[in-house]
Amino acid sequence: MRKIFQLSEIKILFIFLFCWSCSSDEPDDNSMMQLELNSPQNLVVTQINETAFQITWDAVSSATSYQSQVSLTPSFDAFVAPYDNLEDSGNQINVINLESGTSYFFKVRSVRDDKYSEYSEVIEVTTENAAEPEPDTPLKEVATTFSVGMAVSTSKLGGQWDAIYKREYNNITAEWEMKMNIMYPSEGNYDFSKADLIVDYAVANNMDVHGHALIWHAATPSWVENFTGTDEEFSEMVEDYIKTTVSRYAGKVRSWDVVNEAFEDSGGVLRNSVFRQRMGDDYIEKCYQWTREADPNCLIFYNDYNMVINETKRMAALNMVDDFIDRGVPIDGFGFQMHISYNGPSKSLIASTSKEVTDRGLLLHFSELDVRANPNNDLSSLTVERSEQQKNKVKEVVEVYNAIPESSKFALTIWGLRDPDSWLIDFWGQNDWPLLYDANFNIKKAHTGFLEGLE
């Protein structure tokens, strides 16, 4: 039977539906104002340095912004501009332009419209002390038992480069201007202009010169790569080049890397360069004999990279040296290029592999030292922590070299003066700071590591 609603029942139903329809999950403005505005909690301080720090806190859900205060006193009566109720919508602030070694007091409160929470707990933050300047003791004054070398180019022989070279170093190496492609650019036409500038600079400043490098596959002129004469004529051309170059600088160039990087990275085999193809596997010994004939008094070296970490390659090169010694082929020393990183190789491995050279009675040259600070590309700028790690690695290298027998000491050469001039930047295509001076010619911690390694 159909129920017939009375008028009074209809009125009650209508009122109920109306009230229900007006309800909402969202609070109205009045209820919003009634929500509690909490103080920021869990303040965390990070990135403290000499002039700045960063503070973050948990976001307060009902806050629309935050007001921060920074003071020199815990009573907050000496505010640091502009941090006197500085307002921002984020739950993080970078406090900058501060004094080093100074204590600062920080607090923050939540804001919503014209409502403010109580202030947070007070955080005390002390900026780092300004770093003491690194000692500027000249390296050559402390390294009394071996030469301290620097790679140079003719475009960097004046100005601040000149002043530092004269103060720090007593041995220089041409970074790239005493190689075959520069000194013998076309058949029958030598160009010693750049080499002369470097050698003359050294002579004028009482420095030794380490010649680098007579034969290197990566600095071979195109006309040599495509030489059209017979193999015998090719060999005669190389002999003439070596004897012409070495005799020109006899008495001025103390030593030469005669052949550079002759072995492949794997397999312990000779690199298949044009010199090997045209002159045979004995091309290296021929080059060493011609060098000795041109200047009986210069020291002659074999030089290569990854000698510490690549055992197969190192032993192949040392076996060649053993053969030379047994057969009377002239050779005086072995060069470890030492392009390494702050995190390797270990000091013990550098020491043990160096001993393999010195046990043979050879001179040992750490010939191209640089220490990558950013091998994994995890830094956008050089940090204090990484600077210390780089410093420690330089110290280890110098300690190892300083401890080898006196009869095997020759030189430790750094491959470039300032960080931005390093070949590693272009080679790896990323930021790095591998040398002992920064872009502004300031001494770095790595330089101090060198000094400490000599103590």
pLDDT at 18: 42
User: Quick one: what percent of the chain has pLDDT higher than 90?
Assistant: 89
Check 168, 175, 261, 285 and give the catalytic one.
261
- For residue 34, name the pLDDT band (cuts at 50, 70, 90): low
User: Is 70 exceeded by the pLDDT of residue 33?
Assistant: no
Cβ atoms 172, 210 nearer than 8 A: yes
User: Each residue of 348-358: pLDDT tens digit?
Assistant: 999 999 999 99
Residue ranges of domains in the chain, CATH in brackets = 37-126 (2.60.40.10), 139-453 (3.20.20.80)
Instruction: Please say if 121 is a catalytic residue.
Output: no
pLDDT over 70, % of the chain: 93
The reported pLDDT for the residue numbered 385 is: 94
Instruction: Specify whether 368 is catalytic.
Output: yes
Task: Please state the φ and ψ torsions of residue 361, each to the nearest 5 degrees.
Answer: 80, 15
Q: What is the mean pLDDT of the chain?
A: 92
pLDDT at residue number 130: 79
pLDDT, residue 131, reads: 74
Catalytic residue among 368, 388, 396, 399: 368
Neighbouring C-alpha atoms within 13 Å toward the C-beta of 138: 15
Q: What is the spatial distance between Cα 180 and Cα 214, in angstroms, rounded to a whole number?
A: 6
181-220 pLDDT, tens digit each: 999 999 999 999 999 999 999 999 999 999 999 999 999 9
Chain position carrying tokens 């192949």: 316
Rounded to the nearest 10 degrees, the angle between the axes of helix 384-403 and helix 347-358 is 20
Is residue 163 pLDDT above 70, yes or no?
yes
